[in-house]
Structure 1
Amino acid sequence: MSCLMYACLDDLHELVTIDQQVIGSPTRQDLIEKAIVEERCIICKTQSGIGGFLIFTTDFFECSFIALVIVKPTERRKGIATSLLGHFVELASTTKIFSSTNQSNTDMQKVFETAGFIKSGFIENLDDGDPEIIYYKLK
């Protein structure tokens, strides 16, 4: 059983730890803290703690944009990312919701497709040789 909710500052250390496990560095602590303070960070709590989190904005061409979806490595393949996406779609303040992932990230592409997102385009030159695929969903 899991519970989806907005993160609070008490969750910051655990979120930074999860993020560090995934990307190998704590460099996004300020970004995560700002998202928590601005109520733009949703967490998925499981019996073993926070299983994953999602950070969003609403300033992407006046649409919602899911900027980050991170799942704790030991909690992957349990539906956490799909649950976070679905929960965000329900509460999004805009009818158009966008997100993106690298072309090399086939696991996240499958998550987006499972959650009903469709490919909407590409952005070149963010990461050398690994285009960003833009995904879209209408609420």
Structure 2
Amino acid sequence: MAQLIDLDDIVKIDEEVIGNKSRCKYIRKAIEEERCIVSINKNLMVGFLIFDTHFFDCSFISLIIVKPTERRKGHATSLIEYFMNNSPTKKIFSSTNKSNERMQEVFIANGFIQSGFIENLDEGDPEIIYFIAK
């Protein structure tokens, strides 16, 4: 689990991926509420996962972010596996844009199945909902 001391490192990874620090307060709140998991490799933070349980009383992985230089090395899978083993609910959902083929591959490789679509979040790029039961 992430600690507040990890906030700056997590925000740096997020900023590297999205180009700004706009989610700093969101990340801080997730850490304070013990809903943020980090991946460490050789004493360096390489990624994080944020979840909640407000999606119809099921777990929902809202963010999985891996440092671009550390992608395709199993860190997203490690975060997902850890979460699946420690999830507070039996049903776990997540989502990604239709255009994000890499994340779709990660979900499928980890046993998730498509569970639906949401239109109109990002214009012309539907959100694919994924599901797995532990």
Shared fold (TM-score, shorter chain, > 0.5): yes
TM-score (norm 1): 0.95
Superposed counterparts of 1:14-53, under 5 Å: 14-53=9-48
Aligned to 2:109: 114
User: Is there any run of 5+ residues in structure 1 with no aligned partner, and where?
Assistant: 1-5
Taking the TM superposition and a 5 Å limit, the aligned residue runs for 1:14-93 are 14-93=9-88
Deviation at 1:59, TM superposition (A): 1.0
Match of 1:96 among 70, 91, 94: 91
Counterpart-to-counterpart distance in 1, 2:121 and 2:43: 35
Taking the aligned partners of 2:94 and 2:51, their CA distance within structure 1 comes to: 9
Q: Which residue of 2 aligns with 1:124?
A: 119
> 1:125: Cα distance to partner?
0.2
Fraction of identical pairs, as percent = 60
Consecutive aligned runs of 4 or more in structure 1 exceeding 6 Å deviation:
none
Scaled by the length of structure 2, the TM-score of the pair is: 0.99
Q: What are the superposed Cα offsets for residues 68-87 of structure 1, whole Å, 9 maximum, x if unpaired?
A: 00000111010000110111
Note the residue ranges of structure 2 that are not aligned, 5 or more in a row: none
How many angstroms apart in 2 are the aligned matches of 1:74 and 1:50? 12
For residues 85 and 92 of structure 1, the distance between their equivalents in structure 2, rounded to whole angstroms, comes to 10
Secondary structure in 2 matching 1:126:
coil
The Cα RMSD (Å) is 0.6
- Cα offset, 1:48, TM superposition: 5.0
Count of residues in Structure 1 that have an aligned counterpart in Structure 2: 134
SS at match of 2:63: strand
